[in-house]
Structure 1
Amino acid sequence: MQVLVIGGTGTLGRQIAKKAIDAGYQVRCMVRKPRSASFLQEWGCELTQGDLLKQDSIEYALKGVDAVIDSSTSRPEDPKSVYETDWDGKLNLFRACENIGVKRVVFLSLLAAEKFRNVPLMDIKYCTERLLEDSSFDYTILKGAAFMQGVIGQFAIPILDSQPVWISGTTGPIAYMNTQDMARFAVAALSREATVRKSFPVVGPKAWNADELVKLCEKYSNKTARVLRVSPFLIDIAKTMVSFFEPTVNVAERLSFADVSGSGITLDSSMEESYRVFGLDPSETTEIESYVKEYYDLILKRLREMETDLNKEQRKKLPF
Structure 2
Amino acid sequence: MTLLILGGTGTLGRQIVRKALENGFQVRCIVRNKRAANFLKEWGAELIYGDLTLPETLPPAFQGVTAIIDASTAKVADENDSSDIITVDWYSKLIVIELSKLINIKRFIFLSILNSEKYPYITLMKMKYRVEKLIKSSGIPFTIFKYAGFFQSLINQYALPLLEQKPILITSKSPAIPYIDTQDAAYLCIKSLSIKEAKNKIFATGSSQAWKSEEIIELCEKLSGQKAKTLMLSIFIFKIFRQITGFFEWSLQISERLAFIEVINNTPNFKSSIQYTYNILNINPREILELDFYFQEYFEIMLKTLEEIRKTKDSII
Deviation at 1:157? Answer: 0.7
CA distances 1:294-314 after superposition (whole Å, capped 9, x unpaired): 111111111111222233333
Q: Select between 67-76 and 101-110 the one with higher mean Cα deviation.
A: 101-110
Q: Select between 150-159 and 271-280 the one with higher mean Cα deviation.
A: 271-280
- TM-score normalised to structure 1 length: 0.90
Q: Pairwise mapping of residues 223-302 of structure 1 onto structure 2 (< 5 A)?
A: 223-235=226-238, 236-237=240-241, 240-241=244-245, 244-245=248-249, 249-263=252-266, 265-302=268-305
Q: Select between 255-264 and 297-306 the one with higher mean Cα deviation.
A: 255-264
Deviation at 1:249? Answer: 4.4
Unpaired runs of at least 5, structure 2: none
Q: 1:250 to 1:89 in 2, by over 3 A?
A: farther
Moved over 6 A (4+): none
- Cα RMSD over matched residues? 2.1
Equivalent in the alignment of 1:196: 199
* In structure 2, C-alpha distance between the alignment counterparts of 1:227 and 1:7, rounded to whole Å: 35
Q: Select between 190-199 and 108-117 the one with higher mean Cα deviation.
A: 108-117
* In structure 1, C-alpha distance between the alignment counterparts of 2:23 and 2:254, rounded to whole Å: 38
- State percent identity of aligned pairs: 37
The one-letter code sitting in structure 1 at the alignment partner of 2:70 is: D
Q: 1:220 to 1:239 in 2, by over 3 A?
A: farther
* In structure 2, C-alpha distance between the alignment counterparts of 1:311 and 1:239, rounded to whole Å: 52
Equivalent in the alignment of 2:69: 69
Equivalent in the alignment of 1:114: 117
Q: 1:209 to 1:53 in 2, by over 3 A?
A: same
Deviation at 1:250? Answer: 4.4
Deviation at 1:49? Answer: 1.9
Q: 1:84 to 1:253 in 2, by over 3 A?
A: farther
For this pair of structures, how many residues does the alignment match? 313
Q: Contact 1:169–1:232 (CA<8 Å) still a contact in 2?
A: yes
* In structure 2, C-alpha distance between the alignment counterparts of 1:239 and 1:47, rounded to whole Å: 44
CA distances 1:264-289 after superposition (whole Å, capped 9, x unpaired): 63354443332232233321110111
Q: Select between 200-209 and 249-258 the one with higher mean Cα deviation.
A: 249-258
Q: Contact 1:6–1:29 (CA<8 Å) still a contact in 2?
A: yes
* In structure 2, C-alpha distance between the alignment counterparts of 1:48 and 1:282, rounded to whole Å: 36
Q: 1:75 to 1:255 in 2, by over 3 A?
A: farther
Equivalent in the alignment of 1:183: 186
